[in-house]
Amino acid sequence: MNPPAGRAIAFALHGGAGVIDPGSFAATRRAACAAALRAIASRAVQALRDGAPSLDVVEQAVAELEDCEFFNAGRGAVLNGDGVAELDAAIMDGRDRAAGAVCAARRVRNPVRAARALLRDGAHVLLAGEGADRFAAAQGLPLVDPEWFVIADRRAQLDAARAEGRVTLDHDERWADARRVSGTVGAVALDRHGHLAAATSTGGMTNKAPGRVGDSPLVGAGTFADDDTCAVSATGHGEFYMRRVLAHDVHARMLYLDQDLHAATEEALAEVGRMGGTGGLVAVDHAGQVTLPFNSPGMYRAWLDRDGAVQVAIYRDPEPAPD
Ligand code: ASP
């Protein structure tokens, strides 16, 4: 279905939802996070304006977020109970629901690129652990030593989580050191050709059990795209998103109940909330609507607004644009 004239493209990304205490959030850190989100979203929007396919745009935006140490994906990802980054990522094409995903990967530098390579290959949808890393290497994607992903703030965050015997969301403010770290990443886009795509990438949750896989790489849970309805990338406590099949729930509400994007995302997220899950999502629909709901105190996010400007927000109100 083609988007209506005048609203030819749509884009949104997130850098994770969670408890982000404004009082303990250093102004310089906050500004740096906002600047990174704005720069990555602006490049994505320009690519869409230039006619790039949504699938390429979400892959590139998520790869850039993976490379940014602020976020819980790629370098700077959270650590599992063994102190190792195990990485999950997925990408989905709304044209034909082609999808690729990797989970518990330890060596591929950009998990979303491995997911995209798997989508392109077409034989499988999800590869785990060593198989995912081997596939990525065979595709010519760079592998790194597992230590390359580890940054000092995440070690400190893991120590704090271990001390209390807890598994925590990636930037839960209970941990003093979590003030310097942010969340899971994802992007959704509608391109000029009327095609939707979604991608998500994460290290999951701090102090998670080795081998634990979250919602992000699971088609229909944390990531989903279908040109007839919407593209969704979720962030939050993955166990709840898996049990609610959140991203597909948004799609199903639009398809079967004829709900609009706003109602479908609000109600699907409310179901997660009723189960006790916190987090949020970013979504765009086939008509170019954009929504970014969350039930946590904040969510790092950026989007193309109705006036054609890129907005960035962490709490309810947009962050100020640079002069
Ligand atoms: N959803 C991710 C997971 O559970 C974590 C997050 O979004 O913060 O793996």
Q: Give the residue extent of every domain in the chain.
A: 10-313
Q: How far is the CA of 217 from the centre of ligand 1 (A)?
A: 10
Q: What is the pLDDT at residue 116?
A: 98
Give the model's confidence band at 175: pLDDT under 50 very low, under 70 low, under 90 confident, else very high. low
Q: What is the pLDDT at residue 125?
A: 98
Q: What is the pLDDT at residue 177?
A: 47
Q: How far is the CA of 215 from the centre of ligand 1 (A)?
A: 7
Mutation pick for ligand 1 pocket among 157, 200, 216 (CB with most ligand atoms within 8 Å): 216
Q: Check: CB of residue 283 under 8 Å from CB of residue 230.
A: yes
Q: Which residue has the tokens 């310089």?
A: 28
Q: Is 184 a catalytic residue?
A: yes
Cβ-Cβ contacts under 8 Å for 242 (sequence gap 6 or more)? 214, 215, 218, 221, 222
Q: Which residue has the tokens 């995209």?
A: 116
Residue of minimum CA distance from atom 9 in ligand 1: 204
Superfamily of domain 10-313: (Glycosyl)asparaginase (3.60.20.30)
Q: Active-site residue among 184, 206, 235, 265?
A: 184
- Residues in contact with ligand 1 (CB, 6 Å cut-off): 16, 169-170, 183-184, 202, 204-205, 214-216, 222, 235-238
- Each residue of 35-92: pLDDT tens digit? 999 999 999 999 999 999 999 999 999 999 999 999 999 999 999 999 999 999 999 9
Q: Check: CB of residue 189 under 8 Å from CB of residue 71.
A: no
Calculate the average pLDDT of the chain.
Answer: 93
- Each residue of 258-298: pLDDT tens digit? 999 999 999 999 999 999 999 999 999 999 999 999 998 88
